Chains A and B, each alone.
Chain A
Amino acid sequence: MVSVERNKNIKVITGNEACAEGALVAGLRFFAGYPITPSSEIAEILSMELPKVGGKFIQMEDEISSMGAIIGASLAGLKSMTATSGPGFSLKQENIGYASMAEVPCVVVNVMRGGPSTGLPTLPSQSDVMQARWGSHGDHPMIALVPNGVRETFDLTIRAFNLSERFRTPVILLLDEIIAHVNEKVELPDPAEIEIWNRLRPVDPPESYLPYKFTESDVPPMASFGEGYRFHVTGLVHNETGFPTNKQPEITKFLTRLNRKIERYTDEIIQTYCDYDEDAEIGVFAYGSTSRSARRAVQLAREKGIRIKFLRPTVIWPFPQKQVEDLARSVRKIIVPEMNLGQMAHEVEWAARGNSDIIRLNRIDGEPINPLEILNLITEMVS
């Protein structure tokens, strides 16, 4: 990390560095991981920085155990994170589902690279966006954030922790190889001014504590192991007590709350950036590093006098359905550029409900989408 100005916290850093720094500011005190390109620097930095603040770092024997270890540490009271890339993300999925089921806050960073399988370890991709949502089996809620640059990686890493703590749920942070390794000049905020959320703690005495209590907010208060609340945690369907149940009303009640817990707060979780021209006929929906190319293409198109609406979500799960539907009602066509074969375009098409045509622009060769590719498509569509 190169500090370029003394008074302000201005640095030239990579996305992986920003992620590690954001995590520490958010209160990360336990990291478990396994080496994998292009995410390894996050582990390397945290192996250096965590002990300095009394936190713990461990390089586990594999991806699966890294995910298990962060769940264990979170249950014992520490804010926890792991970082990986596609193949490792696949391996973690069972335990990500466990964290969701057992309502254990934790953050999973997936620096996307080309797939499937070992794929393109050093090249960027956005082909894990559906895996982030449905990679783990069963009906589970999911929150996934996608920053489009280094500074936003810092901010969204903190937000990932905040959301995971608030909703007692795993949160996925999707970087890609470009963001992970690009150096950008950023001015980081004073940590004292950053809002940090912590999990709701129980107020009930241990004798009456229910670890999965139905409350008005749908998010049960969470005790830590070792502080007098002796409770049971399982990946089996359980009732309010935390113990397994096979009773049909209890199963439905629990799984409904588990999913509703995120669904009902969708409006608060979703964040989108809109840059809309009046009376535009073309919309562009882009996320992550591709949104940088899209943004540039929109600028160039406007210089040519083309009116455009540009929508960029920083949260893709839950999906910004309303925002996309509104966009679709106001334009004729929506371009969805992405570094995969159209994973998000499916979702956009569903949310558009036939109100506009969805035009896919895909690259799967490990190269970022060039702004001119998007611009050409826009100008073709206008003429």
Chain B
Amino acid sequence: MDYMKYIRRKNFPLIWCPGCGHGIVMKAILRAIDRIGLQKDEICMVSGIGCSSRLPGYVDFNTLHTTHGRAIAFATGVKMANPNLHVIVITGDGDATAIGGNHYIHGARRNIDLTVILFNNNIYGMTGGQVSPTTPIGARASTAPFGNPENSFNISGLAEAAGASFVARGTVYDAVQLDKYIEKAILKKGFSVVEALTPCPTAYGRRNKLGNGVTMMKELKERSVSINKAKNLSEEELKDMIVTGVLVDRELPEYTQNYNMLIERVRETKS
């Protein structure tokens, strides 16, 4: 496919570091959009703050780069105002589950038709490698010099528990799988999350001696186990593994549709 038709070439070079996985996720998103056949004008891409949140600047859609943690809040307004838009939220682990955790939970609870692509690199990359809610316990970060003393979030599980209608997890190693998840997520009516695991060799790998981007991607591959295989594994066996695949796919009432039905009902009663 022709990626360039979706790219704002004049904004290159990208800010992402060598070895960063974000570009792979970006391409997966573009493949998914291309396969579905969405028009560029029908897409509104909304992001927060962080490395991944710079993505909308590079792609030729209606794009909105908001404040830290608030992408889902802004996206809620966009989607309600124009439900015909396919609203895709680009966010990171810190953006969506620390400062923006409340919006992530409530977006899922409302089940508003947003597609959230959550770039999980286990670290605050842009600000220099501070510990995030998905930094594993024990791992080092610039604000966890003695190892992270905190437990980390299962962010896909969080979306499931909060009521999202679609949740999938993939890695940049399995980029082909990733675009399939994203395609399904965009097509799903409701709050959809694709958690994309992506390496940050600069801010996370270096500090934890995990090697360069390629090594870190290989590690993602080695630690990945599909949801089907995972069903037969014990909790102990799954301890450091990344369970990938479509984790949740269910039919639930969608918020903007519900609200439009409410408007129709109110107006009928009125007349």
Contacts and interface: CB of A to CB of B under 8 A. Distances in A.
Given A58-B80, A225-B44, A230-B61, 18 more contacts: A30-B80, A51-B267, A56-B259, A65-B102, A69-B76, A69-B77, A72-B46, A72-B64, A72-B78, A72-B81, A73-B77, A73-B80, A73-B81, A75-B64, A75-B81, A78-B81, A80-B77, A227-B41
B219 interface: no
Contacts, number: 138
A97 B42 CA distance: 28
Contacts of A252: none
Contacts of A187: none
A73 B270 CA distance: 25
B263 A51 contact: yes
A121 B75 CA distance: 31
A236 interface: yes
Interface string B70-86: 10111111111110110
A64 B100 CA distance: 10
B57 interface: yes
B62 A69 contact: no
A225 B81 CA distance: 10
Interface of B: 8, 11, 40-42, 44, 46, 56-57, 60-67, 70, 72-82, 84-85, 102-103, 105-106, 259, 262-263, 266-267, 270
A234 B64 CA distance: 6
5 contacts: A52-B270, A56-B80, A226-B84, A235-B66, A243-B57
A29 B263 CA distance: 12
A365 interface: no
Contacts of A52: 266-267, 270
A244 interface: yes
A27 interface: no
B80 A225 contact: no
A75 B84 CA distance: 14
Given A54-B267, A61-B106, A72-B76, A232 B56 contact: yes
Interface in A104-119: none
B37 to A, nearest CB: 17
A190 to B, nearest CB: 21
Interface string A3-37: 00000000000000000000000000110100000
A60 interface: yes
Contacts of A60: 73, 76, 106
A230 B41 contact: yes
A70 interface: yes
Contact of A51 (B82, B85, B262): B262
Contact of B82 (A68, A69, A226, A235): A226
A32 B110 CA distance: 14
A94 interface: yes
Contacts of B41: 226-228, 230
Contact of B67 (A58, A66, A70, A95): A95
A297 interface: no
B263 A225 contact: no
Given A51-B262, A65-B102, A32 B77 contact: yes
Between B40, B42, B74, the greatest number of chain A beta carbons within 10 A of the residue's beta carbon is seen for: B74
Contact of B85 (A66, A76, A235): A76
B102 A226 contact: no
B38 to A, nearest CB: 12
A73 B263 contact: no
A230 B65 contact: no
B269 to A, nearest CB: 9
A233 B63 contact: yes
B62 A231 contact: yes
A375 to B, nearest CB: 48
Given A61-B103, A65-B70, A226 B76 contact: no
A51 B263 CA distance: 5
A226 B46 contact: no
A62 B76 contact: no
A235 B70 CA distance: 12
A77 interface: yes
Contact of A65 (B61, B76, B82, B85): B76
Contacts of B259: 51, 56, 58
Nearest to B84: A226
Nearest to B47: A234
A292 B42 CA distance: 51
Contacts of B42: 226
A172 B41 CA distance: 32
B29 to A, nearest CB: 16
